[in-house]
Amino acid sequence: MSDTKTTGGKVEKSEAEWRKELTPMQYAVLREKATERPFSGEYEHEHRPGTYTCAGCGQTLFESDAKFDSGCGWPSFTRPALESHVDEERDVTHGMVRTEVLCSKCNGHLGHVFEDGPGPTGLRYCINSAALKLQPK
């Protein structure tokens, strides 16, 4: 971690460093915007209370009390733990218009947010398990 740069609170590392620190699945999701196969991630059916942090940089992303069973095959949340900890960007790849969700600290790809979630936000943050690390309470 010696040559990890932190610029304005951001974590910046070379792709080689990320490749060294992350598992191949974490690297594919966070750095290459891959999507894990539905119903395959370790946190889809996770019900333990705790805090989900970024698998890349450890920033707090979601709390377990915002997690719900959407049946979509990925861990789903109604809201981030802190708005400032996630960035949202318009994504027009794969012939769809979606909103991409990124970690605001390391710019890692987390998943997408859709407007078909339950109340009160009406949002569904559909997040790859590989991008998350649960810190059980």
Q: Which amino acid is at 122?
A: G
The 10 Å Cβ neighbour count of residue 132 is: 25
Among 81, 106, 123, 130, interactor with Zn ion by CB under 5 A: 106
Among 103, 113, 126, 131, interactor with Zn ion by CB under 5 A: 103
Burial class of residue 133 in the structure, from the number of CB atoms within 10 Å of its CB (0-12 exposed, 13-18 middle, 19+ buried): middle
CB of 56 to Zn ion, least distance (A): 4
Binding segment toward Zn ion, per CB under 5 A, in 37-45, 73-81, 98-106, 121-129: 98-106
Footprint of Zn ion on residues 57-86 (CB under 5 A)? 57, 59
**Contact indicator for 56, 108 with CB cutoff of 8 Å:** yes
Burial class of residue 57 in the structure, from the number of CB atoms within 10 Å of its CB (0-12 exposed, 13-18 middle, 19+ buried): buried
- Interaction between residue 54 and Zn ion (CB under 5 A): yes
CB of 57 to Zn ion, least distance (A): 3
Annotation marks residue 54 as catalytic? no
- Interaction between residue 111 and Zn ion (CB under 5 A): no
Instruction: List, in sequence order, the alpha helices (H) in 8-122.
Output: 15-21, 24-30
Binding site for Zn ion (CB under 5 A): 54, 56-57, 59, 103, 105-106, 108
Query: Known catalytic residues?
Result: 126
